[in-house]
Amino acid sequence: MSWLKKLKDYAEQHPIVVLRFSSDKWETLANSRRGVGEFTVALPHALVSGVKVPAPCLLLGNDGKAEQVLFGLVSSKSRITTLE
């Protein structure tokens, strides 16, 4: 089995969550108490229904100077709100 096939098989079982933030939201998040290191975000329930935690996560944001790409972990998907 090729490395690409192994990677595809693994990715199907362990999908990566990608969160892209607008410049405004990224700035707000970066300036929050814990910054981009640890935060909670409210997303529509249907959007995260298929996510199995813990899940690897790519965070994409722009600080006004350059695109930033960070790697993280989705550790919980508890329902914290009904409206965003």
Task: Give the tens place of pLDDT for each residue, 11-44.
Answer: 888 889 999 999 999 999 989 999 888 888 888 8
Q: What does the block give as tokens for 29?
A: 């998040």
Which amino acid would we find at residue 52? K
Is the CB of residue 63 less than 8 Å from the CB of residue 78?
Answer: no
Over residues 39-48, the pLDDT tens digits come to 888 888 888 8
3-state SS class at 13: helix
Residue of 17, 19, 25, 18 lying closest to 64 (CA atoms): 25
Average model confidence (pLDDT) across the chain: 87
Calpha distance 82→61 (Å, rounded):
25
Confidence of residue 60 (pLDDT cuts 50, 70, 90): very high
Confidence of residue 83 (pLDDT cuts 50, 70, 90): low
pLDDT score of 81 more than 90: no
Calpha distance 5→24 (Å, rounded):
39
DSSP state of 7: H
Domain residue extents for the chain: 15-74
